[in-house]
Structure 1
Amino acid sequence: MNFASDNIVGASRPVLDALVAANEGAEGAYGTDRATKAAIERLGALFERDCAIQLVATGTAANALALSALVPPYGAALCHVEAHVMEDECGAPEFFAGGMKLLGLPGAGGKIAPRTLADYLAALPRHEKQMPPRALTLSQATEYGLVYTPSEIAALCEVAHEAGLKVHMDGARFANALVSLNVTPAEMTWKLGIDVLTFGATKNGCLAAEAVIFFDPALAEAMPYLRKRSGHTLSKGRLLGAQLEGYLGNDHWLDNARHANAMAARLAEGVAALPGARLAVPREANEVFPVLPRETVERLRAAGAVFHPWSERSLPEGERIAPHEMLVRLVASFATTEAQIEAFLQAAKG
């Protein structure tokens, strides 16, 4: 009954099979292998565009390097105040960008509203004493499991571009958001104005594989050098390419995401029906954020259930957590089973 995250499970079988196949024989190093070339070609076709694509092993590296390619050392990147890049990457974006600053904006459910962004930009002083914003980064899905709609993304990109900012999407759970919206990869990114995407795969079936996708190749000029200097240009790059080949083949990545979302929907339905429980935000992808009585939390932990308490800073207006309650996060993965969910619900009921 481990619902701590979707990165607690290993790789899916097609990914492992692709890795084993790529392990045979000799191949070019540093990303010149057939698997990496094939994965990059597949990603380009998937997004229906000529892109500049770099593969890395971790989401932190992908986000940090993407932002460092967009923001100079004297600049700033805007994000939600509880975004992963702000709260959970140990200052990596600032470090790799040589001193640029992350500035957090508020928003219920981890979302930045277009009006919030516009008002913030309009109020900024224009002086050399202040670091000028050069990028906006959006988490899709957000830290509260919500999904930016196409209209929300388009509106945010319009505001950002009018102010001279580039827009980066942290797609750690890109696939989960995509199948939730039932749109194509292009329809959730560059067609709405996204300039750079961190295409996450590790949380949805890969062992360790992410892609940084520049929809305007001109923006990627520095990226190969940044990746090498950061130590993320793998000598055996085929291990990254092979993972993505197995992940993307036969729409396996979408099947994984649909399963995780479906399991989260089942979990949300069951948890919401528990005595004294409610959902703090709607379930839109593969994460569930219930408010539980503390006695239910204690009962679950005593039964061996694993999950995390969650921040209350960005709850929707009107939602308050009482002293006898706790906001928690439950995450379903491609490997979650109905039996695990039923065991969790039974433990919650005692």
Structure 2
Amino acid sequence: MPVNDTGSLDEALERLHATGPERVGRLSNHAPMAVEALAARGRDRAIHRWLDLYRDKLEDFPARREPITETGWRAALGDPGRAADWIDHFTRQTAERPWRDVLARWWPRLLPGLYGGATHPVIRVGHAVRTLTERGETSPRVAELAHGLGYWAARHHPVTGITATAPGGVGGGAGALTAAGALDAVPPLGRPGGNFPERLSRVSRIPGWAERVTDPGPARSHLAELVRAATHRYASHGHGDEIMLVHAATAPNAVLRTLPALPRHLWAPSLHAAWTASAAVTAMYAPDGPVPYRAPGRITPEEVFDRALAHGDEHVIKFTDTALDVGGEEALAAALRAIELSEPMG
């Protein structure tokens, strides 16, 4: 992965930290994630140009209410009206102790609510951690982690009532399937309508696949397999919802990117949460059936990412970034399918 420190990413993050994590009350601010992906792929010179095109989707930083305290934080968890308070809290936390310590302390507290904000908060955290671990620490990058964790705490949304079952017709019970087979076995909701939380509340069953994994090494391998399978699957199933189905891959990839910064005993619980999220998104937005798709001819990863950048859509950029993590022709085909299906940035 290319590494350079021209300052473009830090300057962009400083611009973005004056804005809120959402707009119109519920839509995520994707800019911090997208500009990190551009920087990670060596496109620093495009960061500010892209951000200028996105700026109409940005809103001012939200109003503060009262500070989050060590004794009262549970009452504020999952309250989107406290987003500014939570961001302030993590800004203080990361100023007082190393960011890895803050992450390790709060990750198990936040992990059960990974589904809040349609998984965007954990994706934002994953991008922040990648930059900190691979490009080095700077004040804007640590501040970005604080913003991501604060957004996650404000949108914290646990799920209940989802049962992992042995897929019908498949021998061996839980854990017998590959990740691709498990995603294929997810029971679709059909076309229930409604927003993400409403659809999520209707998901009751997912195939048993990851819950028996308890060791850190296999947990990481399973998570990488899940990211690969969800990315490949988008090529043939992304038409179910070209935007939302990217999260079946980008959410677990955010968790995968974060694992190296976490204590190893947190890796297996992270896999379990990531699998539930990916399977739930797959159920919520599954199309009626697959549509075969092949990449048109030979194309390099760099060419695919350049096409994503020219397209401009933030979901396309982030999904293509994940596809390049996965690598291979099938992943590149999935990225090209996302470019084809999605509306370009206007």
What is the TM-score normalised by the length of structure 1?
Answer: 0.23
What is the TM-score normalised by the length of structure 2?
Answer: 0.23
- Larger fraction in helix: 2
**Greater RCO, CA 8 A, separation 6+:** 1
Larger CA Rg, structure 1 vs 2? 1
- Larger fraction in strand: 1
